Chain A
């Protein structure tokens, strides 16, 4: 059955195949260190593919994908979670802006179970109205849990403020009333639009034999035809921000928080590795610039930056949780001063090399676990393609001090930033 595939490439120990009958991309990353294998199917659909009225639909659908198929279901004594649990699998699914992923890491003699299950639920999930009703309240509780956390709400508001037109405006969990109101047919429509082999990549890593894995993938996914329609494209573009946006969130809480976001380009852009290095320079560890400027000086209890890598242009964010008594404006000024310094003085070779070494080491640590490997490849598939993951260390190595300065000057401007304050409400 392995002849059902066209081999596309073999690059840095990873093999790419295409399943000819339905154009599904298959990636194999064998590493036989422990008798464990990880399998992941990533679909190129996320909250980016939603609009008002059905925000959160991708995520709600992901929950319904555990409710069963004619083969795997509770009544047949083969509930999906229980079947996987029985073999000690680490399994789950999650949804984000650009993708939805389903995965299992389990003893290597159970690889077929994972492949069979994922192939089965790609087209045979029930998506029943009664399941949607019960699961909606589960998801609503997930949303409520998130709402308990002021930092999370602040982040949600920041993206909503920074993105006016593009769907990164709304959170992956969705707006509460959409989660409550979205009808089952709409989820089914989502399923029928996006859950097809030609919109997915299947990835295997860990302890497996290549020929066997291909045979099993052909056996289970080979029965599924490609989508009868082209997968719809998202064409909404966020226009330039043209001026600083500021907002305040006030509710009960103990510590103030500031979050700042700057618009940055899509993952495929050549500046992505530069922003990744900048992220480390600013906030990786005790020696990082923002830790020194905010935490060592007792203004903040923690500071973090994130260089998001998405399919479409995203944000670079900076978040600081303030010590009691510290004014938001004071901490913001201290953080921005560090950004401004990077526009005038180049970072030293030593500081640059340290940032690169941290990223390189993290990428190597990831390979300790087959799950780390499939995850990294799936994220890369969602925002660019898997070679993005493989090539990242080389691109990181090429980043120069001049690149850092240029990128900070280009993107970290006042007009391009959104600033949110969480201010704890006084006791009533």
Chain B
């Protein structure tokens, strides 16, 4: 039996920047006859024109709806008949790309991906169908207590021109209704291009062959130049607020407590902030919040805290807890106490050790699959951390000290000016 490959990611991964700017990373892993691609383009919600929130998403979703060469159905038929997937999803700053296929079908998938990126035809009838489905799913989401609570919270924290702001559903629906094929084409022409494209290929492939295929299919693509991201940091609210979102017939209430995080991946204390949060609320079963509010008081099935979108921008910091309507106030009070105790006392030495060991272990476990490796490599590339970040990560974590983590707790956790949103059958 072949031993586990112990060579570093830096030694095993090939990284190349093509003349048109595409950053291509390839990692061979022969364990299973499959291949995953993970990638990014800078074409997410941040780049939407003023007062548009879903144009980036409609554009990303339209990529698979037909090209200059083939109809939506022809593309789908080709991929589905080999059990392969290509998906595009629009995020705050990026459009993320992911594919899964058997290795024998890799070239079919890469050619389709290139065709969808380079030659989308944005057929009007397909846009219309997509718009109708999107409107229905916006309505559907209005039933979800958790989504409604987060939506309201972002409206309190962020100004409407910030990409983390989520407008009310009626605004979104009128925006979608008004979107034309020209809007989508223009967004595509201004935002999609090789210059911001990152592609990471991991699996049962030959590096030279992948390189050759990428050059052949995407090597002469130019498209739009990369646009810079320049988003000012969102300050904390001056005061705490409390908001209710009433929904009928809900047995469960979602409570979300949050504030602007002021944390991005590029912050030098990013990892300290991540560890600071983990001890508080990473795990509903074993973090401080879970031990109190779930394990001891039995108030909830789930309580977690997390930086919701701290990457290229400073998304919100959130504590989410689900409770029966009768337990809302007790859960909020217990949560407040735990957070205040944590801020006052800081992380315990043994908690720090456990969280260091935990995040390193979970990082390793996450790298067990092609998709896991591809996604970590793509993320490292997006944030300019380099492939070696995957090798250095354990050392960076082990180097963190209690004073550093305590400083991050003080800097990033601010219950005194957090907004609490309660969504459900609760008044």
Contacts and interface: CB of A to CB of B under 8 A. Distances in A.
Interface stretch (A46-54, A129-137, A163-171): A129-137
B32 interface: yes
Contacts of A31: 31-32
A88 B32 contact: no
B312 interface: no
Interface string B1-30: 111100000000000000000000000010
Contacts of B77: 287, 354
A138 B29 contact: no
A82 B370 contact: no
B286 A144 contact: no
A85 B143 contact: no
B45 to A, nearest CB: 22
B247 A287 contact: no
Contacts of A370: 368
Nearest to B297: A134
A31 B3 CA distance: 10
Contacts of B299: 137-138, 141
A116 to B, nearest CB: 17
Contact of B80 (A30, A105, A286, A323): A286
Contacts of B367: 34, 36
Contacts of B31: 31-34, 368
A369 B298 contact: no
Interface stretch (B353-361, B376-384, B398-406): B353-361
B283 to A, nearest CB: 5
Contact of B361 (A89, A137, A141, A144): A89
Given A150-B143, A323-B132, A90 B365 contact: yes
Nearest to B294: A138
A251 B247 CA distance: 12
B330 to A, nearest CB: 11
B362 A90 contact: yes
B419 interface: no
A206 interface: yes
Interface in B132-147: 132-133, 136-137, 139-140, 142-145
A137 to B, nearest CB: 4
Interface stretch (B216-224, B249-257, B269-277, B337-345): B249-257
Contacts of A350: 81
Given A88-B361, A253-B143, A81 B285 contact: yes
Contacts of B322: 141, 144-145
B368 A81 contact: no
Contacts of A359: 83
A135 B354 contact: no
B300 interface: yes
A11 to B, nearest CB: 17
A285 interface: yes
A88 B73 contact: no
Nearest to A82: B286
Given A107-B361, A252-B249, A66 B140 contact: no
B139 A254 contact: yes
Contacts of A34: 4, 31, 364, 367-369
Contact of B32 (A148, A295, A367): A367
Contact of B34 (A108, A137, A298, A368): A368
Interface string A82-114: 100111111000000000000001111010000
A354 B298 contact: no
B5 to A, nearest CB: 8
A76 interface: no
B251 A364 contact: no
Interface in A349-390: 350, 353-354, 357-362, 364-365, 367-370
Contacts of B365: 36, 88-90, 105-107
Contact of B301 (A108, A139, A360, A425): A139
Nearest to A323: B136
A284 B286 contact: no
Contacts of B73: 286-287
A134 B248 contact: no
Nearest to B129: A298
A207 interface: yes
A70 interface: no
A30 B77 CA distance: 35
Looking at A34, A150, A206, the one whose CB has the most chain B CB atoms below 10 A away is A34
A147 interface: yes
6 contacts: A32-B2, A144-B251, A284-B80, A323-B132, A357-B82, A367-B32
